[in-house]
Structure 1
Amino acid sequence: MRHAETAQPPPRPARLAVAVTFAVNGALFGSWAPRIPEIKANLALSDGVLGLALLAPAVGSLVTMPLAGTIAARWGSGPSTRVAAVLFFMAALPIAVAGDAVTLWAALFVFGAMMGGLDVLMNAQGVTVEQAYGRSVLSSFHAVFSLGALTGTVIGSVAVGLGVSLLVQFAVLGAVSLAVVLPLSRSFLADPPAPPEAGPVPLFALPRGPLIPLAVAAFAVLLAEGSTADWSAVLLRDSLGAGPAAAGAAFAAFSATMTLGRLIGDRVLTRLGRRRAIRWFAGSGATGLAAGLAVAAVLGPGPGAVGAAVAGFSLLGVGLSVTFPALLAEAGATPAIAMDSRSCGRLVTSWVKP
């Protein structure tokens, strides 16, 4: 046991490696959001057909997420995360060459499957790093995910304005991201052994027992985050009169405020406690979004309505900033399900991106 511990890399390099993995994941995810109105127009998709296409990542993630926790438990979250990162960036490329609604759905299904698996695995590695630190650091990983998403949104918006194709955008972003992530990933930590009472690792794991309410709450939080990514640009462009380059402003603002909230999230959780922070932040975020959209509806299409909607999504970003990391930490602190790779996988299984 002593030899295994000394063989592990120091926690700081591991923390950097996990943080960068979260960041590049967020960057690719964020860069896609401003391109959705363009895809909708190029393929002549109605709102209903686009909605069905945007359900494909959810279906794909439902296939891989329950399996990812088992994969991490059997082969380790570190090695599994490295493989998942490569597959994730490769899976983005078919989206750019989809020629109709059917091929778009298939491409988004594969993309969602790869992203869902990577999300579970990198969170499992994040929990391992947090345990090595002996204090809350998981919120900082989600902060850099949001910072990556903000950066990706800016990249996507600039690419739209410059007329850069989605294929080139994804290919360049993926190549640069992997060139950074793969060398750093050598510092990932080995997962701690599962407790003896955990039993054999099941092939397919779903939330159960004390994880169920946490999974339901995680579903709601990530449903809101996924909806913002998928639909905020369409809302601003098609309903509120924003231009193509400005359509990503709502998700950019959402990502910016979420980043700021998560940068102080670990201290907030320490001061307020996880359960109180979840109630306060989630409630205020929902209220802020509702108020912003209500004002936008009253004002009608135009700059004022766009500004009100962006403000509402900004408040939602603040509200959701610490909620998901707090849910993961709460799962890890629940005695009956002390957080190992499997319980992390079961909890994150609740993520469904609409």
Structure 2
Amino acid sequence: MNSLYTAAHNRCRGIFFLHGAGFASWVPHIPLVQQRLALSHENLGLALLAAAVGVVAAMPLAARCSNRFGSNTVVKFSGVLFFPALVIPLFMASLPTLAIALFVMGFCAAMMDIAMNANGVSLERARDKSILSGLHGFWSLGGFCGAGFATLWFTLPLSKSLHLPISAIILLAAHWYLQRGLLSDLVKPADRHKDIAHQTIQTGNQAIPNGERPIFWLLLPFGICAFVGQFGEGVITDWVTVLMIETHDSTASIAAAGFALYSAAMAITRLSGDWLVMRLGRPPVLIASCGLATTGYLIIALSPHYLLSWLGCFITGTGLAVILPLLISTAAASTGKSGGTVVATIAATGYTALMAGPPVIGAVAERYGLINAFLLTSGFLSLIIPVYLTSMRQRLKTVRNS
């Protein structure tokens, strides 16, 4: 049985890697599509918003399908749709058709994302050890490799329009091979511990069985923290290069290097996040992550030189890296709910924050300046600590780390 779990774990890592590589392969083509269709920034934003709408629309369906048919089955079929969907926007001839294509891409991407995270939750329960942060680390590695391959392709005398179709074919073939070895949700771990569904949640002086509390209230504090953390990710992704160029007169390459350091820190920390959770426990890791993310944003906002901004980017990436996978893992373990339900609920709040963060901060920056907007984000990230202290402290302590 251990060999089955190990093989399934490796296949799941591969699926996360391919999903990240797929997204990174599409991103370099966004300005090319914008140029080909002569879209303004506003119209391009509307088209990209269609992808975000597709993501949100897919979440409840992904949860229901994963719970009913098995997350491994949903990963299989959503991946078959997702990788070809990456190519479709390249051939759209107008803004409306581009928006439809991006809606489909976002929908398929979210179906696969929810299902592969639900499969990771099932595998984590079966292995009785923390693995979700490492899986997200492989997603980051996939993104790095996908972007690197695109950069290499674009520097060679090759047709840019061929890059994404060829990448999609490679990713699809790899996906078809890897998905066959994913763990079925029907495979149950050895009964080494009492079923988590019968555990209780300590609320004040009263112990309330998980099954007697509505799922909304069980997952609300995790969703709030996911919203805060993903808000921070969205802001730094879209605005940190702009801030460095505006405040330090940095070149585009210097600003890009800061974001690269942030991305590298995310990947490194996620790959080591499971070890940190098993060694230190979930509460210290969550509190430290919040503190690092808050501090990193402060450094970025207040630094007098781009070198300090680079340091802030690295610290922020280290802090934000494990918040989402830790929340998904802990919520699934402490509530006893199905992986699809937990992932979809928490991911919905996270994706909402990713969409809301950049425009909200843009509006704040327009009125009060980008530095103040980053300071505001730093303070917002610190809200994770009071949410943890008031509603999550006991649950994080009682969930096993091994």
For normalisation by structure 2, the TM-score amounts to 0.71
- Aligned-partner residue type, residue 24 of structure 1: L
Q: Aligned-pair distance for 1:178?
A: 2.0
Q: In the alignment, what sits opposite 2:77?
A: 83
Per-residue CA deviation, residues 43-93 of structure 1 (Å, 9 max, x unaligned), is 444443333333222211111011101101111111110111111111111
| Distance 1:106-1:36 versus aligned 2 partners, 3 A rule | same
**Which one of the candidate residues 256, 259, 262 is aligned to 2:267?**
259
Return closer, same or farther for 1:40/1:63 CA change in 2, 3 Å cut-off: same
From 288, 294, 303, the counterpart of 1:280: 288
What is the aligned-residue RMSD (CA, Å)?
3.3
Pair 1:347-2:346 in alignment: yes
The alignment partner of 1:264 has SS state of helix
Equivalent pair of 1:285/1:319 in contact (CA under 8 Å): yes
How many Å apart are 1:175 and its aligned residue? 1.3
Alignment size in residue pairs: 330
SS in 2 for 1:79: helix
Do the aligned residues in 1 keep the contact of 2:59 with 2:114 (CA within 8 Å)?
A: yes
State the Cα deviation string for residues 156-215 of structure 1 (Å, max 9, x = none): 3333434655542222222112222212222111214899x89xxxxxxx9611212212
Question: Residues 15-60 of structure 1: CA distance to partner in whole angstroms, max 9, x if unpaired?
Answer: 1111000001111112333444444455444443333333222211
Deviates more, 1:120-129 or 1:281-290: 281-290
Q: Which residue of 2 aligns with 1:145?
A: 139
State the partner residue of 1:217. Answer: 225
User: What's 1:61 paired with?
Assistant: 55
Cα distance change, pair 339–79 in 1 and its aligned pair in 2 (3 A):
closer
How far off its partner does 1:321 sit?
A: 1.3
1:3 matched residue in structure 2:
none
User: 2:77, 2:240 → 1: CA distance?
Assistant: 31
Q: Which moved more, 1:127-136 or 1:160-169?
A: 160-169
Q: 1:340 to 1:157 in 2, by over 3 A?
A: same
- The one of the two structures with greater contact order (alpha-carbon pairs below 8 A, sep at least 6) is 1
1:269 corresponds in structure 2 to 277
Distance 2:183 2:145 in 1: 27
Which residue identity is paired with 2:316? L
- For residues 211-266 of structure 1, what are the alpha-carbon distances to aligned partners after superposition, in whole Å with 9 as ceiling and x for unaligned? 122123223333444555566678789995426xx886455433321111012101
Counterpart of 2:204 in structure 1 is none
What is the rounded CA distance, in whole Å, between the counterparts of 2:104 and 2:215 in structure 1?
Answer: 23
Judged with a 3 Å threshold, the aligned counterparts in structure 2 of structure 1 residues 179 and 112 are, in CA distance, closer, same or farther, namely same
8 Å CA contact retained: 1:147, 1:255:
no
* 8 A contact 1:96–1:166 mirrored in 2: no
Q: What is the CA-CA distance between 1:119 and the residue it aligns to? A: 0.7
Distance between the aligned counterparts of 1:233 and 1:35, measured in 2?
Answer: 19
Counterparts of 1:248 and 1:36, CA distance in 2: 17
TM-score (norm 1): 0.80
Give the structure 2 partner of residue 203 of structure 1: none
Give the letter aligned to residue 159 of structure 1.
W
Distance in 1 between the 2:283 and 2:164 partners? Answer: 38
Residue identity over aligned pairs, in percent, reads 32
Q: CA distance change for structure 1 residues 180 and 290 in 2, over 3 Å: closer, same or farther?
A: same
- 1:311 and 1:103 mapped to 2: Cα distance? 42
Deviating more after overlay: 55-64 vs 272-281: 272-281
Unmatched runs of 5 consecutive residues or more in structure 2:
189-194, 199-213, 356-402
Within the candidate set 32, 44, 52, 2:46 is matched to 52
**Matched residues in 2 for 1:227 and 1:102: separation?**
27
Aligned partner of residue 216 in structure 2, secondary structure: coil
Distance 1:290 1:92, change over 3 A: farther
Write the distance in 2 (CA, Å) between the matches of 1:140 and 1:77.
Answer: 19
After TM superposition, the structure 1 = structure 2 runs for residues 85-104 of structure 1, keeping only pairs within 5 Å, are 85-104=79-98
Q: Which amino acid aligns with 1:331?
A: A
Match of 1:187 in 2: 181
**TM-aligned CA distance change 1:22 to 1:158, over 3 Å:** same
Q: Which residue of 2 aligns with 1:242?
A: 252
CA deviation vs aligned residue, 1:135-164 (integer Å, no higher than 9, x gap): 111111111111111112222333343465
| Alpha-carbon distance in structure 2 between the residues aligned to 1:51 and 1:111 | 15
On the 8 A contact 2:137/2:268 being kept in 1, the answer is yes
Structure 2 residue aligned with 1:202:
none
CA contact (8 A) 1:288 1:316 kept: yes
